């Protein structure tokens, strides 16, 4: 990544426009003597164009535009122009050229260049016809140097990587958030090498998720950066008979030969290797059934996986799996179930905002278990485990109720003095942690009086 973390639109620099315009004029009578630090750009076109628009910008999206009518046929003779450093163009910069004829765009080209100090470099751009739906100058395709998200002009090979959004902003083909700050010892971050249009395939079949670890704490302060190389799987054409979903479409070995009427279990969540293809689905995930059907051309073949319940997807799609589910917020899926089928229940940070180990929906904790240990949470919900104030780590069902105040520390409305039994609002409705009105403590329960110890 380049020059900090800022990605913002700034006011257009007229100085840059003047610089480009003046250099355009210089190009018409170009001297053979090289100037200090400049790019000699030769522009050709595969089709006839009568005018061109030249846009120059830096990685922070400061830009300027020059439009001119052509006096030559650039299918035969290149237009030459000099570009020199300006207030907005210092190191790496994008040149996006669009060619028009009769007001209609006919061809375009884009390229990123870098000045070489005290040298003139010569580069050539050839305008051609290609798809660029978002107008950022980059062609839509799935190879290096192309636009990996052609519906978003801020996602392309010449954009800075934004930390925390889990999107491959710069189309590097490496995982989102590469090189971003992190704390040494933090859990690994799920990653994928799939491009933006294919994120929905991540974690399915051969398109396994990888992990990024926090590394390079060079100054010993406990902070580093996320690794930049993701070891996730990628997709390929389906290989019949290997019990792997090679093309990550949710069906294993579709099209491979079999005996009509035969059936077998199938599970297309995280189980995707030959050795574990028939491992029973865990928790809320359910094995599906794959049947051998008569194919229209080559005879009997395995059909799709039916009635399978896969792990819940994590928003944004393709990043991984979570208890929340795509498009849900807060505690909508804080339900005492293992929806992402990883063996843990309601472990999402959303469900325990203060980190005291108790969730706002009341996920059960095994007898003698440690609330801080995710493995000690078990399937189910109970009002006894609802965190009545999930913004305060000192208030939860495991806290000790204290006399002489109006705080409901243990979430049980068992304060000692009925006259001061106002407490804090708390929720006592299981599995409805956001939608039910809170209950106020109004009456002490004498058998749980905080003045009587032990309790």
Lowest-confidence segment of 144-148, 296-300, 366-370 by average pLDDT = 144-148
pLDDT for residue 366 is more than 50: yes
| pLDDT tens column, 36-76 | 788 999 999 999 999 999 989 888 888 888 888 998 899 99
Lowest-confidence segment of 16-30, 139-153, 261-275, 424-438 by average pLDDT = 16-30
Q: What are phi and psi of 352, to 5 degrees?
A: -145, 75
- Distance (Å, whole) CA 152 – CA 18: 29
Lowest-confidence segment of 126-135, 192-201, 277-286 by average pLDDT = 277-286
Q: What pLDDT is attached to residue 274?
A: 44
| pLDDT tens column, 73-130 | 999 999 998 888 888 788 888 899 999 998 899 999 988 899 998 899 999 999 998 8
Q: Which sequence spans correspond to the domains of the chain?
A: 14-127
**Residue 119: count of CB within 10 angstroms of its CB:** 12
Q: What is the mean pLDDT of residues 224-238?
A: 81
Torsion of CA 129, 135, 140, 145, to 10 degrees: 100
Q: What pLDDT is attached to residue 348?
A: 79
Give the list of residues 6+ apart from residue 81 with CB closer than 8 angstroms, or none. Answer: 23, 24, 27, 40, 41, 43, 54
Give the list of residues 6+ apart from residue 187 with CB closer than 8 angstroms, or none. Answer: none
Q: What pLDDT is attached to residue 419?
A: 42
Cα–Cα distances in Å, from 31 out to 41, 187, 373, 405?
A: 14, 59, 73, 86
The pTM (predicted TM-score) of the whole model is: 0.45
- Distance (Å, whole) CA 180 – CA 164: 8
| pLDDT tens column, 393-436 | 998 988 887 766 667 788 876 654 444 433 334 444 444 445 55
Cα 261–chain centre separation: 42
**7 CB burial (10 A radius; 0-12, 13-18, 19+):** middle
Token pair, residue 351, equals 């469900």
Q: What is the mean pLDDT of residues 220-249?
A: 81
* Helix H or strand E encompassing 15: helix 14-28
Q: What pLDDT is attached to residue 177?
A: 65
Locus of tokens 């190191």 = 91
**431 CB burial (10 A radius; 0-12, 13-18, 19+):** middle
14-127: in CATH 1.20.120: no
**Residue 391: count of CB within 10 angstroms of its CB:** 9
Q: What pLDDT is attached to residue 99?
A: 94
Q: What is the mean pLDDT of residues 8-33?
A: 38
């Amino acid at each position: 990544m380049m020059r900090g973390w800022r990605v913002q639109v700034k006011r257009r620099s007229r100085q840059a426009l003047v610089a480009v315009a003046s250099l355009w004029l210089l190009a018409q009578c170009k001297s053979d003597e090289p100037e200090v630090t400049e790019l000699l750009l030769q522009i050709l076109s595969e089709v006839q164009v009568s005018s061109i628009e030249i846009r120059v910008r830096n990685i922070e999206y400061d830009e300027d535009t020059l439009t001119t009518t052509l006096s030559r046929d650039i299918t035969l003779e290149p237009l030459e122009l000099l570009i020199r450093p300006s207030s907005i163009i210092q190191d790496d910069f994008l040149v996006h050229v669009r060619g028009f004829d009769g007001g209609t765009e006919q061809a375009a080209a884009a390229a990123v260049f870098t000045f070489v100090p005290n040298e003139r470099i010569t580069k050539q751009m050839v305008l051609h016809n290609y798809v660029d739906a978002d107008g950022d100058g980059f062609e839509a395709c799935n190879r290096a140097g192309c636009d990996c998200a052609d519906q978003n002009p801020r996602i392309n090979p010449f954009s800075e990587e934004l930390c925390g959004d889990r999107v491959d902003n710069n189309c590097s083909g490496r995982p989102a958030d590469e090189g971003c700050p992190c704390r040494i010892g933090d859990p690994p971050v799920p990653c994928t090498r799939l491009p933006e249009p294919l994120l929905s395939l991540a974690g399915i079949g051969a398109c396994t998720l990888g992990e990024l670890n926090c590394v390079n704490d060079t100054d010993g302060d406990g902070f580093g950066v996320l690794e930049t190389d993701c070891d996730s799987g990628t997709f390929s054409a389906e290989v019949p008979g290997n019990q792997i979903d090679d093309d990550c479409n949710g069906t294993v070995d579709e099209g491979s030969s079999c005996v009509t009427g035969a059936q077998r279990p199938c599970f297309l969540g995280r189980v995707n290797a030959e050795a574990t293809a028939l491992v029973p689905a865990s928790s809320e995930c359910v094995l599906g059934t794959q049947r051998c059907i008569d194919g229209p051309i080559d005879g009997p073949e395995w059909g799709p996986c039916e009635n399978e319940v896969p792990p819940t997807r994590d928003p944004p799609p393709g990043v991984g799996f979570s208890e929340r589910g795509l498009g849900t917020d807060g505690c909508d899926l804080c339900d005492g179930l293992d929806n992402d089928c990883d063996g843990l229940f309601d472990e999402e940070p959303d469900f325990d905002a203060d980190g005291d180990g108790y969730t706002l929906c009341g996920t059960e904790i095994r007898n003698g278990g440690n609330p801080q240990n995710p493995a000690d949470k078990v399937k189910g919900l109970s009002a006894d485990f609802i965190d009545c104030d999930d913004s305060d780590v000192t208030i939860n069902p495991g806290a000790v109720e204290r006399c002489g105040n109006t705080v409901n520390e243990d979430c049980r409305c068992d304060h000692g003095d009925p006259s001061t039994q106002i407490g804090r609002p708390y929720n006592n409705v299981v599995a409805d942690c956001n939608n039910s009105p809170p209950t106020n403590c109004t009456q002490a329960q004498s058998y749980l009086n905080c003045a009587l110890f032990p309790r």
